[in-house]
Structure 1
Amino acid sequence: MGSLTTFIKAIRNSKTIANERAIIRKESAKIRSSFRDINLDNDKRRKNIEKLIYLYIIGESTYFGQVECLKLLASNEYIDKKVGYLATMLFINDNEILTLLTNSLDIDLKSSDHLIVGLALCTLGNVANYELANDLYPNIENLINSNKLYIKKKAVVVASALVEKDSNLGEIFLPYLNDLLNNKNHSVLLSSCALIESIYNNNEILRNDLIKLIPKILSHLKLLCNSGYSSEFKGIPDPFLFVSLLRTIRILMSNEGINDRNIDKNIENLNDLLTQICAKFENCKLNSGYAILYETVKTIFAIKLDSSIKVLGINILSKFLIQKDNNVRYVALETLLQVIDYEPLAVQRHRSLIVGCLYDGDISIRRRSLELIFNIINEQNFKLLINELIKYLKTENDEEIKIYLTKQLLISINKFNKNTNNFNWSLKILIPILNLSGNYCNENILSTIIAMIMQSKEDQLIKDILKELIKTLKEGLYDQFGLMIVTVWCLGEYFDLISNESLIEDNSINIINSVLSVSNYFNENEKNQLKIYTLMTCLKLSVKFQNSKNIEKLRQIIKSFNNDISLDIQIRSIEYLKIFGEKMSIKKGLLERMPAPIIKTQDNLSLMDRTVKESSSVSNASASTSNKGNIIEDLLGDDFKTNSSGKETKKEIKDTTIDLLSDIFGSSSIKPNEVKTTNTNIVEPLSIEGFKDENIKFGIIEGEIGEGKCELQAIVKNINSNNYEINNLSVSCAVPKSQKLQLSSINKTNLNNGEFTLLNIQITGNKGSKIKIRVKLSYEINNNGIKIDKQFDFSKITKLL
């Protein structure tokens, strides 16, 4: 067998995939044969393991080398242990094999060679499970007391990892924090912050004890702020420690339920310290300085501090907006979106900078800027910003942004049209919106536009709008679906207002014919909608026209749809013809102007999921909140297994439950069709609420809990107040790696208002372990094509008995 270098060169020099696969198969077979040799020495074993590491990197199977890694750890040579531990961290994911690792780790953690101890610590921190954490925490305790900083810092980091595996270990490591925070070494302080955060997030009982450490953390932060500049970080005091200390302070002081008599004094000290940090790094042009300022701003808004320092935080973010770095500007816009509720006037002062970001070359910056602008619109700047947004609408080519912008413009216009001046101006501004983005108007948008026109009590205003609509349409904009719909509808409803104008009956018929002639260029749904609107307009015009020749033309248009491919249009055509033939007195009564409907108010939309607007905490201490809004698969990491159901399930899942990460975590524990799903909308069962927004509600119904097993039932209900339908619903769930999840498939992916669907959840794990489920809901509203993702953690259930 050749060396690792030879093996890598052979693979890289392969001219075809077939040659590459042949080399890999041949070498893998040689390695397996070599492992069967009972006289194999460690030197050859190490070389084989090195090749397996390379195979792992390129995605090949290496499961057959797991036990050999453990044999390599038994060697007394450092190089053997180094390769062995590296391979162990990469290859081994089986709990039974990890148990065999306990003895090797125990021996190496007690070694006199600090390098070997470091290897063992690194491995334990990466692969620890519940059992390893409970078996080896005494070793970590001893190493935390080590005089060697290299060992101490690693031991503290490992302690934080063990607490995540077993929250009860927080009580073991908590007493060491006092001494650790007395240490001035930056590495030890960094690892101490990690341990504090781990204990805080995993053991709520110990939070008040951690609060007592705030004065020490503040003293380190003050010392760091007042320290000289470091050449190691280009003239900035250690930014890593700065950020870590600020994050730790934010976590400890953002909890409203803390019981600390000195909290007011601590807040006063922190207030002064944050002001000092902002002043120190205000003119810094380095990314490390921006990182410190950003973390400072997050801390300012996470804790109940003075209004003046919150204004300072907004001003810091505004200075980010004029930087050339896209990442810095994106961070500023995103943070301003999260904190605008605290100091809206302070954000308003930087309106021109925010609007300027609309024309940035980076689409992500344009999106955040656009969303922020809609959040700062008020009575005073309403007209100014709407005009800016319409101007921007002319230049934007991204379809998703155009859809969002059109909808949000209408919501904002509807929100601020309470006084007469704004209302009249709003009606006129609808025409350029339809002119620019008529094809991005769905039924809800169009119905709201028509409702707004109907709300007007001034005939002259409606007359002017109708004339402008007709003029705009005649300029050749027959490719704008929304513009055609609104124009045709207004023509039928308000033709009597312009009947004495130059826009006479012939022009109206020409408009109708032109609309029908281009209807085939739209999709089936839009085409049918245009036909329905023109049919109704023709019927309404039949009582407003005076010329019998033109009235007959209207009748012929309606009659032409008798054989339409759509049954609905056929029925309408036949019914309208019958009405057409009735006496004028009857027709006028049937075809009077419609009464103005109430315009439904809508909340601001978002280009990005914002399930939790971080109110008292921009970055909440809990791990669940910090993960909200992200794609569930990206955030589960090594601690979660995931199952999926609904539309998002892949072909291989079919209609059965399956462990999506079975290839990574081992064989799936889920048996097809083992869990049956029921779905009824007769009586909604009582449930523990886990999540609720304006569209959807998620709850859990407890079943049998015992013997390390938990039977649950999830309920998802459509609670939309606007009677919208929820479409393409899918539910994904995940549990910690120490537990196993079985999730049934979802039967109903479309829910009408008030309907709900059920799916079964089965969790198995160690007795006494806490049940925590991460849930992701994905759905659309009225098939609008915009996917909404909601992610949250549910932990309100009893522990496994």
Structure 2
Amino acid sequence: MAGGPSLMDSLFQRSLEDLIKGIRQQTGAAESTTFISKSVDEIRREIKSTDPQTKTIALQKLTYLHSLHAVDMSWAAFHSIELSSSTVFHSKRAGYLAASISFNPSTDVILLLTHQLRKDLSSANPHEVSLALQTLSSICTADLARDLTPELFTLLNSNKSFVKKKAIATVLRVFELYPDAVRVCFKRLVENLENSDVNVVSSVVGVFCELACKDPRSYLPLAPEFYRILVDSRNNWLLIKVLKIFAKLAPLEPRLGKRVVEPICEHLRRTVAKSLAFECVKTIVTGLMQYESAVKLAIEKIREFLMEDDPNLKYLGLQALAAIAPMFLGAVVENKEVVIKSLSDEDVNIKLEALKLVMAMVSEDNVAEICRVLISYALKSDPDFCNEILGSILSTCSRNYYEIIIDFDWYVSLLGEMARVPHCQKGEEIENQLVDIGMRVRDVRPVLVRVGRELLIDPALLGNYFFHRILSAAAWVSGEYVEFSKNPFELMEALLQPRTNLLPPSIRAVYIHSTFKILTFCAYSYFFPDETISSLTSGVADSVKNGGFPESSDLASSVAYGELDEGFNPRMLHESLKDDSVNKGKNKITDLDHSAQDSLVGMVNIVEATLGPLVGSHDVEIQDRVKNVLGLIELIRQEIHGSLVPKGELKASEVVRVMYNAFSEELGPVSLSAQERVPLPDGLELKENLTDLEAICGDFRVPVLSSFSLEKPRSLEMDAITVSDHQHEEDHEPSNESTSLLIEHRKRHGLYYLPSEEREKVPNDYPPANDISVQNKANDEEKDLVKLTEQSLVPKKKPTAKPRPVVVKLDDGDAIRIDQKKLELKDDQISGAVRDVLLGNEAVASSSRTDKSDKSSSRRSGKDTSMPLESNVDLTNEESSGLGNKNSRKNKHRSHGKEKSHRSSRKVGGESDQKDKPKSSHPHGRHKLRQKADGTVNVAAQSPVIPDFLL
């Protein structure tokens, strides 16, 4: 029984149909798995049978299970090869199908299929040839491509149309794996462009369409052939492929675009096929944008697509409009009603394309209106599209340092409004922009603090995970720019509200730190009222000097600390200075000292009562920040109650002054190249490797574990116990051992320490916040883009009512610098081979490849190195006299100008190009092509890189 299944098993073997019915009858997944396992065991027995029919049915069942149920069939690879050699076509087809589905480059026995594929490719039965071609295209490897190229070359001239089409399709796969096959098959591939069967021509053009996508320049010499097809053919699918090729070639050669634009426009005018019309529009948009008449015709066709009821056609119209938008934005503006209406379409792809077009229309004049419309659509859209809208708004408005934003007060309010959109999931982006605008635009900080407070007191935001990052930014700006708040006490209450315990620890840490900043500011204002007024007033004066803070402020002129609604406002302080009422304000502060003290004590009590329980928090960040706040509160209370300060310690007011000065340092954006601009200290030598690491760290030994284990090694446990014992013994005797070791290490390895005096030499090159020259420099870099925007959009830019706030931009800023030096890449092997075949001598002379194998193949032994390239494959008389002979193609290209003179004047090594061609001696049609300079050309025998018909 071990040798194979019995006769009884063969007679009652289940067929493929029985297997499928059995699987469908199983009710559960477990039952299906069990049934499939049993079936695989049966197949393993049946496939060993010597009966071809039994083996074939077994392999068919295994192929089905592999395809639909992912059953491994790699163990049956040899049986697939065995059946592929069967003389019964049914069995052969089963073997080839199994191989094409299950074989991969790592299959061990794949090379055993080479002989059988060669035999079937040379078969007189076209169906066997077709099976072999299909299998080869699926499992082709570099070895198979190399060994079977001669057979494939022969099939390119088959008299069976469907065989020739499959051979042409297989050539593309062979070229990718074995580029040298180009020198053998490329000439016949081009010959088939003149085939009378339109399906064969379509297959060839499809191959060239794929090849041209990788390196279109190599196929410029074939432009006359493609042009003939473009003009003469009436097959829409063939024309579509040719148009794809011209879309790649036209940008490379302006004269080619001038030649093909009229035929393309003619097809666009007369065709009723939407597929061909769209491809014509796409070709015009891609490579013929310099022809105004063609662009106008394309825009008209695009409008027709937009008016179609078919969602597929409407989508194509929007896609074409998006492609034409960068150069002809007016076309988008003309169709803006259709575009905006498409935002509410049921098809999500149409909505996304419409959204791209809407964002393309955004300018300084209409950004507010478009954003208002988009927010209204976001409120009634599904979550996915809602976030697409919000993401588009954020990316467009922040582009190039917010170049289209004139009114930052409006934009900050818009960010706050976006945070309240129910489906918003753009918390991180909104957080980044709130912080970034606060650092870059000084004038918007009062509105930023107001919006931040509104976000902090909104209870709906606290329980939503996606809004936590927004609340983090709101808390940060509230603490960082507290001096711009009308009422710091309201900010403090918003930060300390009980529901903040819903926030994650990382966000609560930001809340607590902002509380610390606000408390420091209020304490400083209490202890040093005169200095507070002076510092805030100077800030207001600087802002007014640079165009900020309008002089027509309607805020009250009172500067009394106790009037919370009007306290700490720099605008109000500036107005007080203008009215010579600063002294009056100082008197008010003096008169209301007692009220201010009560207010500060009340704030201190609230902060202590709220943050006190958090001292025992398990999160170290929260615990650390809470202890800092409580420590400051203790100092403030001692100062208020007049407690005596121990000798040598600072008073609370002095501590508050130091902390306030630290917090007063303005934060700004950091350039990505900031670290690169730090000069290296004199005498610092950076080692290129770590060869001296052993000498530096010789005193520190890390035990090496022989294997990974979750258990701590006993040696390490003993070391830890010993160390802890020593620590307990030495706790009562503090020593300077660690300090002395550090000093000794510095002496030994001073090379790796940065001297403190060197840090003072590093210049502070951070640009000032209101440096107009920085803005002008960035504006000069974007001058062309601004001009294009002004010319394209309708209506033209209107003068704004107030000057645009200063936006801090860094010199080399946040943009990623692109190295202008381009690396020289090696020519693609396929493209190089194509150029050699098309251009012959000229390609070899201009080739820059340095591969050793190419050098050896391009020189004749014992002769001049300038001789043309020779291949190791010969061609029969019939093939070598084909494209290379000027009479073989009926002088088709004599009308192309200088073609005839090129053919008659070509000499190689002083010999005429009418040499006798070598003959093939291989009995099985494995032709070898000897590729000499006078026999290597195909289209326009010795055509230059730019075809003659373009001249």
Report Cα offsets for 1:193-246 as digits up to 9, x if no partner: 2332455567x6xx666322222222222333xx4xxxxxxxxx54x3233222
User: 2:516 aligns to what?
Assistant: 535
Kindly report which structure 2 residues correspond to 1:360-399, keeping only aligned pairs within 5 A, or say none.
Answer: 360-398=345-383
Kindly report which structure 2 residues correspond to 1:124-135, keeping only aligned pairs within 5 A, or say none.
Answer: 124-135=136-147
Shift of 1:169: 0.9
Cα distance in 2, alignment partners of residues 153 and 413 from structure 1: 53
Which of residues 260, 284, 305 is equivalent to 1:300?
284
Cα distance in 2, alignment partners of residues 187 and 11 from structure 1: 41
Equivalent residues of 1:358, 1:365 under 8 A apart: yes
1:402 aligns with 2:411: no
Equivalent residues of 1:108, 1:117 under 8 A apart: yes
Q: Which moved more, 1:56-65 or 1:306-315?
A: 306-315
> Residues 601, 307 of structure 1: CA spacing in aligned structure 2 closer, same or farther, 3 A cutoff?
farther
Shift of 1:290: 4.0
1:248 aligns with 2:245: yes
Kindly report which structure 2 residues correspond to 1:144-159, keeping only aligned pairs within 5 A, or say none.
Answer: 144-159=156-171
Cα distance in 2, alignment partners of residues 586 and 323 from structure 1: 73
Shift of 1:163: 0.9
Shift of 1:412: 0.6
User: 1:277 aligns to what?
Assistant: 267
Equivalent residues of 1:561, 1:569 under 8 A apart: no
Which of residues 192, 199, 204 is equivalent to 1:192?
204
Which of residues 622, 625, 629 is equivalent to 1:573?
629
Equivalent residues of 2:192, 2:200 under 8 A apart: yes
Structure showing greater radius of gyration is 2
User: 1:555 aligns to what?
Assistant: 604
Cα distance in 2, alignment partners of residues 121 and 419 from structure 1: 59
Cα distance in 2, alignment partners of residues 26 and 456 from structure 1: 73
Report Cα offsets for 1:310-337 as digits up to 9, x if no partner: 4554554555445445554555555555
Aligned letter for 2:56?
R
Aligned letter for 1:573?
V
Cα distance in 2, alignment partners of residues 22 and 214 from structure 1: 61
> Residues 21, 557 of structure 1: CA spacing in aligned structure 2 closer, same or farther, 3 A cutoff?
same
Cα distance in 2, alignment partners of residues 24 and 185 from structure 1: 47
1:63 aligns with 2:74: yes
Shift of 1:125: 1.9
Cα distance in 2, alignment partners of residues 87 and 420 from structure 1: 63
User: 2:328 aligns to what?
Assistant: 343
User: 1:169 aligns to what?
Assistant: 181
Equivalent residues of 1:99, 1:132 under 8 A apart: yes
Report Cα offsets for 1:478-532 as digits up to 9, x if no partner: 5465776666666667777775xxxx6775665444xx32212233322332332
Shift of 1:408: 4.3
Which of residues 98, 103, 117 is equivalent to 1:92?
103
Cα distance in 1, alignment partners of residues 391 and 223 from structure 2: 48
1:44 aligns with 2:54: yes
Cα distance in 1, alignment partners of residues 399 and 171 from structure 2: 55
Cα distance in 2, alignment partners of residues 78 and 490 from structure 1: 78
> Residues 579, 95 of structure 1: CA spacing in aligned structure 2 closer, same or farther, 3 A cutoff?
same
Determine helix, strand or coil for the equivalent of 1:167.
Answer: coil
> Residues 332, 576 of structure 1: CA spacing in aligned structure 2 closer, same or farther, 3 A cutoff?
farther
Aligned letter for 1:422?
D
Aligned letter for 1:223?
D
Shift of 1:101: 1.5
Segments of 5+ residues of structure 1 without an aligned counterpart are 228-236, 257-262, 603-653, 656-681, 683-719, 725-735, 737-766, 770-801
> Residues 540, 419 of structure 1: CA spacing in aligned structure 2 closer, same or farther, 3 A cutoff?
farther
Determine helix, strand or coil for the equivalent of 2:86.
Answer: coil
Aligned letter for 1:384?
E
1:212 aligns with 2:221: yes
Determine helix, strand or coil for the equivalent of 1:536.
Answer: helix
Kindly report which structure 2 residues correspond to 1:8-19, keeping only aligned pairs within 5 A, or say none.
Answer: 8-19=20-31
Equivalent residues of 2:419, 2:427 under 8 A apart: no
Shift of 1:127: 1.8
Which of residues 497, 520, 531 is equivalent to 2:501?
520
Cα distance in 2, alignment partners of residues 438 and 573 from structure 1: 36
Cα distance in 1, alignment partners of residues 145 and 46 from structure 2: 34
Aligned letter for 2:81?
L
Aligned letter for 1:278?
L
Cα distance in 2, alignment partners of residues 194 and 490 from structure 1: 59
- Using the size of structure 1 for normalisation, the TM-score is 0.62
Aligned letter for 2:265?
T
Which of residues 188, 192, 206 is equivalent to 1:180?
192
Shift of 1:121: 1.8
Equivalent residues of 2:364, 2:406 under 8 A apart: no
Which of residues 75, 80, 89 is equivalent to 1:78?
89
Equivalent residues of 1:478, 1:518 under 8 A apart: no
Aligned letter for 1:273?
P
Shift of 1:188: 0.5
- Using the size of structure 2 for normalisation, the TM-score is 0.53
Cα distance in 1, alignment partners of residues 84 and 484 from structure 2: 92
Shift of 1:99: 1.8
Cα distance in 1, alignment partners of residues 445 and 136 from structure 2: 75
Report Cα offsets for 1:43-63 as digits up to 9, x if no partner: 333222222222222322323
Aligned letter for 1:268?
K
Cα distance in 1, alignment partners of residues 423 and 468 from structure 2: 5
> Residues 277, 601 of structure 1: CA spacing in aligned structure 2 closer, same or farther, 3 A cutoff?
farther
Which of residues 422, 427, 431 is equivalent to 2:407?
422
Higher relative contact order (CA 8 A, sep 6+): 2
Determine helix, strand or coil for the equivalent of 1:36.
Answer: coil
Equivalent residues of 2:130, 2:166 under 8 A apart: yes
Cα distance in 1, alignment partners of residues 41 and 433 from structure 2: 69
Counting aligned pairs with the same residue, the percent is 19
Shift of 1:271: 1.3
User: 2:704 aligns to what?
Assistant: none
Equivalent residues of 2:671, 2:813 under 8 A apart: no
> Residues 305, 509 of structure 1: CA spacing in aligned structure 2 closer, same or farther, 3 A cutoff?
closer
Equivalent residues of 1:326, 1:362 under 8 A apart: yes
Aligned residues: CA RMSD? 4.3
Which of residues 162, 167, 172 is equivalent to 1:160?
172
Equivalent pairs, count: 577
> Residues 532, 447 of structure 1: CA spacing in aligned structure 2 closer, same or farther, 3 A cutoff?
farther
> Is the strand fraction higher in 1 or 2?
1
User: 2:831 aligns to what?
Assistant: none
Aligned letter for 1:295?
E
Cα distance in 2, alignment partners of residues 26 and 420 from structure 1: 70
Q: Which moved more, 1:267-276 or 1:560-569?
A: 560-569
Cα distance in 1, alignment partners of residues 348 and 74 from structure 2: 43
User: 1:109 aligns to what?
Assistant: 121
Which of residues 54, 62, 75 is equivalent to 2:64?
54
Cα distance in 1, alignment partners of residues 254 and 385 from structure 2: 47
Shift of 1:89: 1.3
> Residues 590, 222 of structure 1: CA spacing in aligned structure 2 closer, same or farther, 3 A cutoff?
same
Determine helix, strand or coil for the equivalent of 1:11.
Answer: helix
Cα distance in 2, alignment partners of residues 209 and 115 from structure 1: 35
> Residues 601, 415 of structure 1: CA spacing in aligned structure 2 closer, same or farther, 3 A cutoff?
farther
